[in-house]
Amino acid sequence: MKRIKYIAINLLLLSLGACTSFDDINTNPDTPNTVTPAMLATPLIINIESPIDDKHFVHDNFVSKQLLWGGGVEDYVYNYFGRIDFSKYASLTNARKMVELADKDEKNAYEGLALFIKSYHLFSYTMKVGDIPYSQILEGENNNLKPVFDTQEQVLAGILTDLATSAELFSNASDFAGDPVFKGDVNKWLKTVNAFRLKILMALSSKEKVGNINVKETFAALYKQGHLLESNADNFCKIFSDKANQKYPFHYTVSKQANYGIVSSVMVDFLKELKDYRLFYYAEPAKSKIDEGVNPDAWEAYIGIDPSKTFTYVGTQYTAGEYSGLNRRYSELPACEPYIFVGYAEQNFILAEAAIRGWIQSDASSFYSKGIEAAMLFTGDNTSGNDVYNHGRLITDEYIQSYLGQSSVKLSGNQEHQISQVIQQKYLASFMQLPWAAYYDYRRTGYPKLPINPESNLNSEKDKIPVRWMYPQTEYDFNTENVEAAVGRQYNGEDAVNSKMWILK
């Protein structure tokens, strides 16, 4: 009987095999079984614009001394820099596959996107460590698993060339699918690419040339050409919502860390000095002041803590409520505000600095004012009108104009002073925004002046904030010869956080 049963099963399998395959049987007809460029584009873009949750979200604010932490000693607050990772390199293979899969009529858009994604990640890496793999990074399929490290100058010249190509491709492309940010609008991508190019060129302000590219002339030509961000609606940013996995990183359902955030005296003092209403949107009044009967809309209700103080002092102030924490909107509003990576306000500040430096023949004050206005409107427009989140100090058009009219805000003095004013306003606008931008500006210009305390500084050079990170341990483990060559070429063989990379010399 068992033999007859086995024969019947075999006959059934043979009959199935005559008209179909096991692959066909196991394929769900309701799901796609081939990869499209749009399917690859979506995670690639999300991979760029998804900030990390919890306190990692504000690591750059720690380094730039906009925030400090009441929950314990945080390395970045006290200037301890470790090793980075190169994990974003893995995504570049999918970016190339995205282009390979694209049809002829959509090739330009996806290739432009791939070059932007590549440039964004590699710019981040080179700004952190210096020389990085560039020319050989996509040769893994050819069994080159140990790419050489190109010099930082070669990398930056290559990135600028890639972005110029990206802009040209987007200029001649049709809208594409798979884009969760701009819905495939190639015109908005073109503006983002060009704004990012300006950002990189300004990062090179101490250099005349990078490779064969003249920094000032290229900046001026790009500005004259146009196709730049025109308003906050063009910001390349992450937009949050009340949906699962789309909430703001500090929302109370995502993180329990926001209550440890302390707005620094650097931020609070700047905002108070300029009578800047963003103080009431960024921070909460100190509990100790509210207990004394001070109103939440009073400037004296806000207390910043010196970010260079030892944690013993910070912890005491935190316990006593003698500090201003993060505004409740960061933890209570699931959408809170978008997180900007390349922004319109930032672009205006870059153009203002360029005008001050004489790179472009234009009115620096106009760009400077537009940058402040855009930054303030962004904060006001993306915050609920509830007094709980603005403490009764609404940012209105009338307020912005009165703010811009203050002598303490208007550009004044010599070139260096005006640059310091522009960087200060970029600094205020970058609060909880523009990852690492404030630190890179500080590293490049020395502005704003940040407090450093040898007693709390974990850097080996007690009077400095580090200027770089160390290379990933995985490079030493699996690409030893090339990483050691890069360290020897740049830093006399010592992978140290106080050694200056090419862009800083």
Q: Do residue 206 and residue 108 come from a single domain?
A: yes
Residue 5: per-residue pLDDT: 37
In-domain check, residue 388: yes
**Assign residue 463 a region: left if phi > 0, alpha if psi is -120 to 50, beta otherwise?**
alpha
Q: Do residue 76 and residue 99 come from a single domain?
A: no
Distance, in Å, from the CA atom of 36 to the CA atom of 34, rounded to the nearest integer, reads: 6
pLDDT above 50: residue 319: yes
Q: Determine the length of the chain.
A: 505
**How many domains in the chain?**
2
Q: Do residue 373 and residue 489 come from a single domain?
A: no
* 223 Cβ contact partners less than 8 Å away, ≥ 6 residues apart: 198, 351, 354, 360, 362
In-domain check, residue 39: no
Query: Exposure string (b/e) for 216-236, b if CB count within 10 Å is 16 or more?
Result: bebbbebbeeeebbeebebbb
User: Could you tell me whether strands 261-263 and 236-238 are parallel, antiparallel, or unpaired per DSSP bridges?
Assistant: unpaired
pLDDT above 70: residue 308: yes
In-domain check, residue 47: no
Q: What is the mean pLDDT of the chain?
A: 92
Model confidence band, residue 3 (pLDDT cutoffs 50, 70, 90): very low
Q: What are the pLDDT digits (tens) for 375-397?
A: 999 999 999 878 899 999 999 99
Q: Where are the alpha helices (DSSP H) in 133-185?
A: 152-171
Q: Which residue would you say has higher pLDDT here, 402 or 14?
A: 402
Q: Sign of dihedral through CA atoms 74, 77, 78, 79? A: positive
**By mean pLDDT, which of 47-61, 162-176, 456-470 is the weakest?**
47-61
Q: How many CB atoms lie within 10 A of CB 389?
A: 18
**Assign residue 14 a region: left if phi > 0, alpha if psi is -120 to 50, beta otherwise?**
alpha
Q: Do residue 349 and residue 459 come from a single domain?
A: yes
pLDDT above 50: residue 24: no
Q: Provide the domain limits for residue 176.
A: 83-227+470-505
Q: Do residue 198 and residue 300 come from a single domain?
A: no
- 209 phi/psi in degrees, rounded to 5: -135, 155
Q: Do residue 206 and residue 243 come from a single domain?
A: no
* 46 Cβ contact partners less than 8 Å away, ≥ 6 residues apart: 180
SS3 of 438, please?
Answer: helix
Residue 4: per-residue pLDDT: 37
CA-angle at 465, arms to 309 and 262, nearest 5°? 40
Q: How far is CA 150 from CA 39, 153, 157, in A?
A: 32, 8, 11
In-domain check, residue 267: yes
In-domain check, residue 193: yes
pLDDT above 70: residue 113: yes
The domain spanning residue 255 has which CATH number? 1.25.40.390
Judging by beta carbons within 10 Å of its beta carbon (0-12, 13-18, 19+), is residue 263 exposed, middle or buried?
A: buried
Q: How many CB atoms lie within 10 A of CB 51?
A: 16
Distance, in Å, from the CA atom of 348 to the CA atom of 350, rounded to the nearest integer, reads: 5
pLDDT above 70: residue 34: yes
pLDDT above 60: residue 279: yes
Under a CB-based contact definition with an 8 Å cutoff, are residues 303 and 268 in contact? yes
Model confidence band, residue 33 (pLDDT cutoffs 50, 70, 90): low
Q: Do residue 207 and residue 319 come from a single domain?
A: no
Helix %, strand %, coil % for the chain, to 5? 55, 5, 40
Residue 320: per-residue pLDDT: 97
Choose among 41, 52, 114: nearest CA to 85. Answer: 52
Under a CB-based contact definition with an 8 Å cutoff, are residues 280 and 391 in contact? yes
Q: Do residue 89 and residue 214 come from a single domain?
A: yes
Q: Do residue 274 and residue 342 come from a single domain?
A: yes
Under a CB-based contact definition with an 8 Å cutoff, are residues 148 and 136 in contact? yes
Q: What are the pLDDT digits (tens) for 139-163?
A: 777 777 899 999 999 999 999 999 9
In-domain check, residue 6: no
Model confidence band, residue 99 (pLDDT cutoffs 50, 70, 90): very high
Find the mean pLDDT for residues 11-18.
36
Q: Do residue 386 and residue 317 come from a single domain?
A: yes
In-domain check, residue 55: no
Which two tokens mark 259? 């209550």
Tell me how far apart the terminal alpha carbons of the chain are, to the nearest angstrom: 87
In-domain check, residue 41: no
Q: Do residue 285 and residue 418 come from a single domain?
A: yes
**DSSP string over 8-71:** HHHHHHHHHHHH--HHHHT--TTS--S--HHHHHHHHHHHHH----GGGGGHHHHHTTSEEESS
Find the mean pLDDT for residues 58-85.
97
Q: Which residue would you say has higher pLDDT here, 244 or 446?
A: 446
pLDDT above 70: residue 372: yes
CA-angle at 279, arms to 275 and 285, nearest 5°? 115
Residue 32: per-residue pLDDT: 52
Q: Do residue 296 and residue 163 come from a single domain?
A: no
Q: Sign of dihedral through CA atoms 168, 169, 174, 177? A: negative
Share above pLDDT 90 across residues of the chain, in percent, rounded to a whole number: 88
